[in-house]
Structures are given as C-alpha cells and as structure tokens.
Chain A
C-alpha cells in the first residue's frame, strides 16, 4: 500500500515553501493580476525556483536538479494552492518537465532545473491523458505559456505520427486570453518557427501522456491546499463574526457545514496523497527500467491511473465546494473583490475544468475499473 502520510522531509519542505511564500508573496497580488496582468511576478518564481530549488524538484541530480519525486512536488503544490501563487510550477516544473524526462531530453532540462528558463506543454488546458490531439498551427487556451521560454508542441510529423517539438520564444506567437483565473492566465499559442524534434511516434505520445497524467495527479494536491485554506479561513471567520449577539460559528447550521467540509477534505487529502504516492512509486520502478520506454509495471500503471482518475473526479469538486462554502459563509464580504476568497473560487473553478473535468475522469475510471456505461 502506498504511504499516504507525509514524511519529515516533506513536512520540512512544506514549511520552507510556506515561509518563502509568506515573505515573497504579497497577499493582495493574486487579485491585482486581474487588473494588471502584466505585473512582473518573476521575483516570486526566482525565490521559489532558485533559492528552494523547486524548478528542478523532479529533475535528476545528474541533470542539475534535486532528484526528488512526485510526493515532494505534491506538497509544494498544496502550499502553492493555498496561496494561489502565480508561478509556473505545475505547468513547467511538473508537466513540461515530465514530458522532457519521459522523452529522454538532456539538452533543456538543466536550464529548467536551475529556474533560468520555464517551459510549457502546448495543449488546451483541458487536455488529459489519452484525450488530446496534435496541434496544427495554434492551440488555446494554454496555461503557463505567457512568460515561458520553451514551448513543447505535439505536432503531426512527416509520416503522420506524432512529433513532439521544442520551440523557442521567437518561434511562437502568444495572444493573452482574459481568463477566469488570472493567477494562471491562458493564451493562444501559434507556432511560427521550425523547432527541434524531441521525440517522435509512440515515444512522443508516451511523453505527452505521462506529462498530462502527472499534471492531473498533482493538480489534486493544489486543489487540496486551496480547499484547506478555504476551510481554515472560514473557521476563523466564523469564530469572530458576530450576528444575533453570537459568533456565527456558534450556530449549529454553520458548525455542521464546516464539519461536513472537514470530512470532505479528509477524503480529498487521502485521494490526493494516493495519486501522488502511486505516481512516485511508478517513478521508482521506472528508474530501474530503460529510458524512454513505458516504464511502469502493468499492475502499478493501472493503480496509478485509477488513483489519478479518482483524485481528479473527487478533489476538483471538493475544492470548488470548499471555495463556494467559504464565500457563502463570509456573507456579503465573500462577494467582494477586497476579500481574498474570490481568488480561491476562481482558481478552484478553473482547476475543476483543467486537465479533464470530473465527468471526463469518471468516464476514464469506468473503463479502468471495468464498469462500462452500457
């Protein structure tokens, strides 16, 4: 059974990420990005990527990274989710990095690991493992493209197979899209240059699938962190807000709501940990196998895919529910721009749509566990 708890190393990573965020992320920044999308947030990424080495968390030490795994990345995402931090960790350090690792790249990974450059997998942000198609010309809406230096685009190669190609910033055009969640803004990406092939055929498809699977697995931890922030913030508010000469948290209607939310997050946490843990276990097995081939043992692969579908089907809705409850229990203040709740709601709703909606993940799961729809 996968270890569903946090190790001491993971807890200490959590506390350094949290304190760096407390120091380097001004609480008003997420909301400001809606009005000033061009705000320079690179210092925050530098603090996380450079000083803490988060950009290279998943990259082996031989390529300049930290050589940690999915479990550690999940803890980082919990913290980034709490703070709705506008950094490309998920899109670059998890998804694009996984694609490059799977493709056996050695050229680009060192510059990503150092935090010098960031990369993006150019597919609509709704894509998921086994449900994406090669990009012809342009793709939208793509998350993590604005501000990226390296663009990994699955294209159709000469023989008709998939060709995963890398393009520089001067080989693509970017058009920003006004996004529901401006802390992870979207763009339309149009390929204009030649690019270099990184992988082709089955290898390219496996790289993209692995990247999307890792993204979905670890997005659940971002959703968990966000949901926990919502619960904690709302519990605090319910203790202090007085109506009818009582703290609103003294009404059982409110207590039960928050207790239910706690129960929901207990389950979400288990689901997110299972997805991270099975992903990490797969990596370990993969480390002994040959590079560039499908490396996870069949049994492990199925467990991993089930865990990912379960985590996405569950945590996506849990985060939305937590943010919606937070808004409701704050009353009128929850509806304001001034209170930070809305930044969580927008991220939660966007995350629910990202990397496959719960509906799509339930359909995937039905196949994995042999429960056909008809």
Chain B
C-alpha cells in the first residue's frame, strides 16, 4: 500500500528477476522457481525458503510489479491448498528437510496438494478423526477414510491429520503428516457436488506407509499444527483485495452494461451489497496489515464468515437480477475439474458453488463459535467428550 516504504532492495530483486527471466517467454514453472529462489515467493518467509524475512504486507509490492509485467502467477485454482495452507504450515512446523524438499515445487505448482482432514464422522468436530497412524520402524502405517477431499484426483501430496494415540482425549492424540498421494494404498473415488461437478472425493487409505521424517510437528501435536493450517485456509478462502473483486464484480458489470436489469428494488439491494463487500474488503485489508510476519489467528474466522455470507447473497441476487437467464444452467455433465473455481461458468453454477463457502474450511456456525469463544472469550459449549480418552467416547 502507498503508505508503506518502497524498499530499493526489494525493487532491485524484482528488476533482477524480470531481467534474468523474460516474463513473457519463460515457462511458468521455471519463472516461479526463480521467483522462489529470489525470495520473492512469500517475502515474509525466511531467506532460503522463498522469502526475505520482510513483513507480510510487502508482498503486494512484488505482486503488483510481476502482474504488470505479465509474469506467470502460481496456479491458485489448482493448488490453493498447497499455496494457502500447506506452505505456511510446513514453514511453521516442518523440519528444515521438509521445507527444502517441498516448498519450492509447491510454489512453482509442479507439485499439487490436497487436504486429508475431514472424515464421515469428523467434520466440524475435526479433532474426532478416526484414521489411525501406527508406528512401524521409521515409518507410520495409515488406515482410514477421508471425505470431501477437494482435488485429490489432481494431487501429488496431501496434508493429513491422523490419530496416533487413542488412550488420550481427542485433541491430544493427533499427529500431522505429509503423504504421497501416489502410494498404492490410496484409493480416490469421485464425489459429485450439487453443481454437477465432482470437485471433491472420498479417499480410502489402506496400509499407506508414511516415513517418520514426513511428520510435521511432534507426535501428538497434530491439533496445534492443523489449527495453523485452518487459520491460513480461512484467510485464503476470504482473500481478494481489489474493489469489486469476486462475485460483486460480476454483478456490477452486468448492471453497468445491461439497463434491463435496473429496477428500483434491485438498485437498493445492489448498493447494499456493494457497501458490504467494500467494508469487508477493507476489514480484510486491515487484518492482513495487522498480520505482518505472524500467523493468522482466530480473527480470520470472522473474515471467512463475512466472505461466505456475501458470496452467497450476491450470487443469489445475480439470478434474481436476470431471471430468464437465471432459470438456465450451463451444463450438468459430471466432470472432475482441474481446479476449483468460485467465479467460473454461469450464474447458476456460481450460486450453487457459493453454497459450499459456508461449509468448506469450517462451517459458518463453527466460525461463529470460534469468534465467540476464542476472540470474545465466552464460555465454551458443554462437551460430553471433554477429558475422556478417545477410545472411551461412545460413537
């Protein structure tokens, strides 16, 4: 932002990157690899890990210039989980070896990631995961079932939360791993969504072998590590910092170009959504400025909640705005998409897909609980399983 000092060194590095790698002709993976090596991938990451140890807010200075130069950008549609969640978690808790092995190809998007957290019995109550990881020499053997795994069919690696100890209360018995999705013990079955697409999957893990050095954090520390992932996920889902970015932008464009949608009632509603998305954008910007080099905390839940509400209201409004078109749909054919998209296809798809925004990455009800309990400090709900060893909780 304008009130931030332009660092001559940072600008010099961008100049050097652009001079050594023509942004127009360099293949994306090579360009992004070079961007990582120059410390310009995530400037708030340490040197040698794609960053320069600067404050988080400085990244825009890099991104704006690269964008203007037409440089390749990381593929968020395909690798949002890698970029938004795995990377900050590996940085915060992963060994040096894991950081060196995984961060660079992750940023270059030559390795795609998915998230093996949710299970049929453990959604909002993520700490109740039942997938077991049992030690065997210097490996772990993983058995269980995951569900709603977005992009598992495109992924090379996964972040996994599994139970390593059933004799302690649920939060204490979890451990976090990085898993190779090409392991023969992994079976992926498409799960179709209300949009017609199968963006997510069921994943069955049978005797999957994970080397101990792919553990992130200590044994039993999985809940803390996963919370870091989830807080980053909530920031990633609600990211977007341009005015009229996202769903509202599609509506404002329609409004400006198509007088037939303009009625007084619609106008009042449009302006109401415009103001709300604008202030949410500003609140998101404040959150980002406040974050600096640190990890996002529970406050990110409030942003994710606001984002989901607006995406749903605005996409619903878009159908009412042009009802003849709203009654139609682009295509119901079942496909397994390359990447997730909230803004693609027609207005009907966007309306239906936005329904997932208040469920994925933690539901809006859970976001409210987090705000109430962790931000406002209200007393927690009664939890009958509190303090009881996982194996003794009736299921």
Query: What is A's interface to B at a CB cutoff of 8 Å?
Result: 34-35, 124-126, 140-141, 177-182, 186, 242-246, 248, 251, 253-254, 320, 324, 327-328, 331-332, 334-338, 341-342, 345-346, 349-350, 352-354, 357-360, 362-363, 373
Residues of B within 8 A of A327 (CB): 194, 355
A353, B327: Cβ atoms under 8 Å? yes
Q: A124-B324, A324-B312, A373-B264 are in contact. Are A243 and B332 (CB under 8 A)?
A: no
B196, A34: Cβ atoms under 8 Å? yes
- Residue in A320, A328, A346 whose beta carbon sits within 8 Å of that of B364 in the complex: A328
Closest A residue, CB atoms, query B308: A328
B355, A328: Cβ atoms under 8 Å? yes
A244, B125: Cβ atoms under 8 Å? yes
Closest A residue, CB atoms, query B197: A337
Residues of A within 8 A of B128 (CB): 243-244
8 nearest A-B pairs in the assembled complex, by CB-CB distance? A342-B194, A337-B192, A245-B385, A353-B323, A359-B265, A243-B125, A245-B384, A34-B332
B211 CB–A CB distance under 8 Å: no
Residues of B within 8 A of A334 (CB): 355, 359
Closest A residue, CB atoms, query B118: A332
Q: A324-B312, A359-B263 are in contact. List 8 more A-B contacts (CB 8 A).
A: A125-B324, A180-B329, A186-B328, A244-B383, A254-B365, A328-B364, A331-B363, A335-B194
B194, A336: Cβ atoms under 8 Å? yes
CB-based A-B contact count at 8 angstroms: 136
B193, A336: Cβ atoms under 8 Å? yes
Once bound together, how far apart are the Cα atoms of A345 and B194, in whole Å? 9
Once bound together, how far apart are the Cα atoms of A335 and B340, in whole Å? 14
Residues of A within 8 A of B179 (CB): none
A180, B326: Cβ atoms under 8 Å? yes
Nearest Cβ in chain B — how far from A187, in angstroms? 11
Q: A182-B332, A243-B123, A320-B316 are in contact. Are A141 and B359 (CB under 8 A)?
A: no
Q: A34-B196, A336-B194 are in contact. Are A179 and B329 (CB under 8 A)?
A: yes
Once bound together, how far apart are the Cα atoms of A331 and B264, in whole Å? 36
Q: A253-B368, A353-B326 are in contact. Are A331 and B334 (CB under 8 A)?
A: no
Residues of B within 8 A of A341 (CB): 194
- Residue in A182, A352, A362 whose beta carbon sits within 8 Å of that of B265 in the complex: A362
B55 CB–A CB distance under 8 Å: no
Residues of A within 8 A of B125 (CB): 243-245
Can you identify 7 A-B contacts, CB atoms within 8 angstroms? A180-B326, A180-B348, A248-B124, A328-B363, A338-B191, A353-B320, A359-B263
Closest B residue, CB atoms, query A181: B327
A331, B124: Cβ atoms under 8 Å? yes
Q: A180-B329, A336-B191, A349-B351 are in contact. Are A245 and B383 (CB under 8 A)?
A: yes
Residues of B within 8 A of A186 (CB): 327-328
Nearest Cβ in chain A — how far from B77, in angstroms? 18
Once bound together, how far apart are the Cα atoms of A77 and B156, in whole Å? 50
Once bound together, how far apart are the Cα atoms of A345 and B319, in whole Å? 13
Residues of B within 8 A of A357 (CB): 320, 323
Q: A332-B118, A335-B356 are in contact. Are A126 and B328 (CB under 8 A)?
A: no
Once bound together, how far apart are the Cα atoms of A332 and B359, in whole Å? 7
Q: A337-B196, A345-B352 are in contact. Are A178 and B330 (CB under 8 A)?
A: yes
Nearest Cβ in chain B — how far from A124, in angstroms? 6
B393, A332: Cβ atoms under 8 Å? no
Once bound together, how far apart are the Cα atoms of A35 and B334, in whole Å? 8
Residues of B within 8 A of A242 (CB): 121, 395
Q: Which residues in window 163-194 of B have CB below 8 A to A?
A: 191-194
Closest B residue, CB atoms, query A373: B264
Residues of B within 8 A of A320 (CB): 316
B123, A350: Cβ atoms under 8 Å? no
B355, A345: Cβ atoms under 8 Å? yes
Nearest Cβ in chain A — how far from B125, in angstroms? 4
- Residue in A245, A251, A362 whose beta carbon sits within 8 Å of that of B393 in the complex: A245
B332, A35: Cβ atoms under 8 Å? yes
B157 CB–A CB distance under 8 Å: no
Closest B residue, CB atoms, query A186: B327
Once bound together, how far apart are the Cα atoms of A368 and B324, in whole Å? 25
Once bound together, how far apart are the Cα atoms of A349 and B325, in whole Å? 12
Question: Which residue among B121, B263, B323, B364 has the maximum number of chain A CB atoms within 10 Å of its CB?
Answer: B323
B14 CB–A CB distance under 8 Å: no
B331 CB–A CB distance under 8 Å: yes
B334, A349: Cβ atoms under 8 Å? no
Nearest Cβ in chain B — how far from A114, in angstroms? 30
B206 CB–A CB distance under 8 Å: no
B381 CB–A CB distance under 8 Å: yes
B148 CB–A CB distance under 8 Å: yes
Once bound together, how far apart are the Cα atoms of A63 and B384, in whole Å? 66
Q: A331-B363, A342-B194 are in contact. Are A178 and B332 (CB under 8 A)?
A: yes
B123, A324: Cβ atoms under 8 Å? no
Residues of A within 8 A of B99 (CB): none
B328, A324: Cβ atoms under 8 Å? no
Once bound together, how far apart are the Cα atoms of A85 and B384, in whole Å? 42
Residues of B within 8 A of A331 (CB): 123-124, 359, 363
Once bound together, how far apart are the Cα atoms of A180 and B329, in whole Å? 5
Once bound together, how far apart are the Cα atoms of A286 and B323, in whole Å? 33
Residues of A within 8 A of B263 (CB): 359-360, 363
B331, A335: Cβ atoms under 8 Å? no
